[in-house]
Structure 1
Amino acid sequence: MAYIPPQLRTVNVTRYVTPLREGGSLPAIAEADDGFLYVLKFRGAGQGPKALIAELIGGEIARTLGFKMPELVFVNLDEAFGRTEADEEIQDLLKFSVGLNLALHYLQGAITFDPTVTFVEPKLASQIVWLDALLTNVDRTARNTNMLMWHKELWLIDHGAALYFHHSMDNWEEQSLRPFVQIKDHVLLRKAEFLDEVDAEFKAILTPEVINTIVSIVPDEWLTDRSFETEDDQRQVYAQFLNKRLSNSNIFVTEAKNARSQLI
């Protein structure tokens, strides 16, 4: 299957519908000028634009690997939106998020994945576990699965907690070789029987060219780490981190297999 580079659309917020208070970063349902509803992730939230970077890179890697992912779009937020909001917390969030944000298409009627109700095939479970081990995604646990069931299919959402190395990038190379011990808490780990098979399949897809292309779409205005001379320098570290992690995937695959052996 030929690789199709990501081409994110850009929309403008026309209506703030309601906050989603179960999210720590206070995302919201918002309507855009294309008439669709989106789950809007704000650059002014607690983790700042780095959460949006993780959401974008993680989401587009997932899409490239064939997972079902709501469409990601860039979202412009006008400064006028914060002026009429009565809730001071939301007003501040909107004020600090003026400019370019990120959103996922709102899956109307979707329900939260419940591992006690829905059976997941071992191959799919292995694929999701592998993805999260690559991305160092700490947020796919039984407490917070960050998966939805929509039209009887499993959809992945919310990769904002992934790539946590970027909160301290000085030793990114060392961090890229860490095994990701938090995989022991993954909600699907027990069913992940085919990690070696998935490792070979997914590494063939995620070539350095593919990774570099995905990282290249991160907007300049989100790349605010002043320890880098240019935005491209910061992008390059994301690409190098992921490519090095892929080259040494046996480290995180072995960790996942060992953690699974403790469960079965």
Structure 2
Amino acid sequence: MKHILVPTDFSPDSERAILLACILAKALSAPIRLFHVFSGRDEPLCESNRTLEAEAENIRAQGVTCRPLLAELMPNTRIANETESADVRLLVMGTHARHGLQRAVWGSFTERALREAACPVISVNPQARIPEEVRVVVVGMDGSKLAEAAFEEVVRVAPGLGVRRLVLAHAAEEEGDNFSASRWISVAREAGLEVEVETDRGAPLELILRVAAKHGADLIALGTHGRSGVRRSLFGSVAEAVLRRAPCPVLTRRG
């Protein structure tokens, strides 16, 4: 059975990610693999083991199967390796502000891991609302293959999560923008989903955030580079700013 991978550094941000992962695990009937990378610097091994097992036990108390794992590799290396497994369905991570930039639980290490994760990643910032269920999803559409991949991922997991409505947010940045939503509307409706399209001129970031707030989004889904087709890192594009300011968790897929 495919599981949900959740890294933890025992911080409040990780606790929020665990809360979200439990909600998703129940909806998808998926077990959680909870892991912590032991640094060996400021934490005794026995204490890390006890804390990790306590967090795993809290997850089990919610009716979710959980297997804890303590590793001794660099965080980004371990995460990238773990997500390459065919039985990983999602990677769920917390983020926190560091030096003015949004960082994941292990700072710059996890920034790289998010770019390299072989599975979809759901990130939650400290201010985002943790939804009790995922019913409304806003998908950022810019005509790129990665945006389409994010849309397809949402449609794929929608039945398990109980998603009811998709809102496609398209920012028309250029004159003569010929984006057509008809194909995606058809795909969504064939999957039994309600679908709306919000199109406006201007910056994609502001449109996505505005649409998410307007519709009370439970999840935002994005590709990881923009319309230009130039490959960018997750933390060097619109996705970076959305992750930092999103009112709800954000699903991303790398290319």
Shared fold (TM-score greater than 0.5)? no
TM-score, normalization: structure 1? 0.29
More strand by share: 2
